[in-house]
Chains A and B, each alone.
Chain A
Amino acid sequence: MTELVQNLIDAVALGSLYALIALGVTVIYTVMGMMNFAHGEFIMLSAYALYVLAGLPFAVAVGGALVTGVLIAIAAERVAFRPVRKADLSAQLVTSLAVATILQNIVMGAVDARPKSVATPGFISESTQLGGVSVPNLEFLTLGLTAVVLACLGWLLYRTRAGLAMRAAAENFEMARLLGVQADRVIALSFAVSGALAAAVGVLLVMQTGQVSPTMGLTPVLVGFVAVTIGGFGRMFGAVLGGLLLGVIASLLGAYLPESLLPFRDAFVFSLPVAILIVRPHGLLGAATGEARV
């Protein structure tokens, strides 16, 4: 029984990590209609900030990671995505692929292609007893951080003027502009939020694995994409749901797959979207029905 509870907690923790990734991807998608391949590199670069700031107190380094994520995202938007804003979605997708490659290889060249270890505070690798169940502190942290992030995102979106503008623009960009909302600012803000979410994920990944590598963003971005796809495009709630589902399944597969099949866990997990899309081609919740253009 305790094993089941243990596994469930593991699953939810992983699910919330995936939900964070999915949210980062969805924020940009809802406002711009674009799936951002480079999101993985936003995660990776934020993680590398921890590596670079290794000597400083951990809290400061985390702050540095946050700043990095936000700045990289805003810069990418300004330099690479704004010029192709009017292009069709395939073109934007390929552009994000280019950005991802460039960022990944810059880090490979500037630092190293090999993983580097990053020291994390000791308590993270320990566990806490909770009524007979031993829960790694990292998972508490993940769940806690996710909760905090969701609360902040909720506050931003539902309690601030800027967030209101974002939600309005996500539903009907043209109408928002007609009411005076500045397109450039809203898009920059959504990238900034996406970058902040990427930073949170980057930090958590470093704490989980204890290392950084230039290719560490590849699987997370795929996770994000897949989660958004199965949750239904354009819905923030769908992204969270998709991420949770994916994480829970990945985690439970990891716990209960027979030994011989364990190495193929990723294959099972990423075949999942296909199965869902066969039955519901527009995702579990269906695509968000945006308002028609003005």
Chain B
Amino acid sequence: MLELRGVKVAYGGVEVVHGVDLGLAAGEVVGMIGPNGAGKSSVLRAVCGLARPSSGEVVFEGRVLNGMAPERIARLGLALVPEGRHVFKSLTVAENLRMGMRRNGNGAAALERTLERFPILRTRAGEHADRLSGGEQQQLAIARALLGQPRLLILDEPSLGLAPKTIDLIYELLTGLREEGTTMLLVEQNAARTIDFCDRCLVLGAGRVRVEGRREELEGDSDLLHTYLGGQP
């Protein structure tokens, strides 16, 4: 469904991603982990149209996304839940959700399903989004992305800044989504949970893919530790 071929990303002359290949089939859940500065968010920005790859191609269901405006990419069915959530603080929860809905009007059913999955949002529908806790904002951001009925859901560090219990809750939600067959690309810094959760993980370090594999292959892998902490364990 999604393919990255030799994607390089540069900001103002500084190349931060030195050629990343990635493949994602429909229904798969793939994770990207690695230390900060490895380039994970930059890869996501390139996919969503917020940054233009300086080299290489981003292909989504056969279409090349390079250079396309982010709103067009979103309408093609890619939804990003960005790092830091970025709910609209000056809007209410309900309005935030509305922003996620497609314009083609069959939103009511989707909205109902979403509110069932995220009951807290129904309770706080009329409140301004900045009154929500971190975990609730994360739920709102995910719900908002889901309302667009995306073909691919991309999450950038959903557990950032959340307490462990809240992270458990979020991952429960994500597990439910996976069981429904939602295709997901998940970027996290917390390696263990991501390795556990995803079908497959890529480990990024200094702008390149260092290691790639399934859970069994990665757990306990010394290369993985080396990428994060240097030296030998």
Contact = CB atoms under 8 A, between A and B. Distances in A.
B99 to A, nearest CB: 5
A67 interface: no
Contacts of B144: 179
B148 A179 contact: yes
Given A161-B98, A178-B82, A168 B74 contact: no
A63 B148 CA distance: 39
B90 interface: yes
- Which of B75, B86, B144 has most A Cβ within 10 Å? B86
Contacts, number: 63
B91 interface: yes
Nearest to A179: B99
Interface residues of B, number: 24
B120 interface: no
A164 B99 contact: yes
A175 B86 contact: yes
A165 B99 contact: yes
A49 B7 CA distance: 54
Contacts of B193: none
Contacts of B79: 178
A178 B79 CA distance: 7
B53 interface: no
B102 to A, nearest CB: 8
Contacts of B102: 180
Nearest to B74: A180
B71 interface: yes
A176 B70 CA distance: 9
Interface in B57-92: 69-71, 74-75, 79-80, 82, 84, 86, 88-91
Interface string A156-172: 00000100110110011
B165 interface: no
A278 interface: no
Contacts of B148: 179-180
B99 A174 contact: no
A269 interface: no
Contacts of B158: none
B78 to A, nearest CB: 9
A167 B95 CA distance: 10
B71 A291 contact: no
B89 A171 contact: yes
Contacts of B69: 177, 182-183
Interface of B: 48, 50, 69-71, 74-75, 79-80, 82, 84, 86, 88-91, 95, 98-100, 102-103, 144, 148
Interface of A: 161, 164-165, 167-168, 171-172, 174-183, 291-292, 294
19 contacts: A164-B91, A164-B98, A164-B99, A167-B88, A171-B91, A174-B50, A175-B86, A176-B99, A178-B48, A179-B71, A179-B74, A179-B99, A180-B148, A182-B71, A183-B69, A291-B89, A294-B50, A294-B82, A294-B86
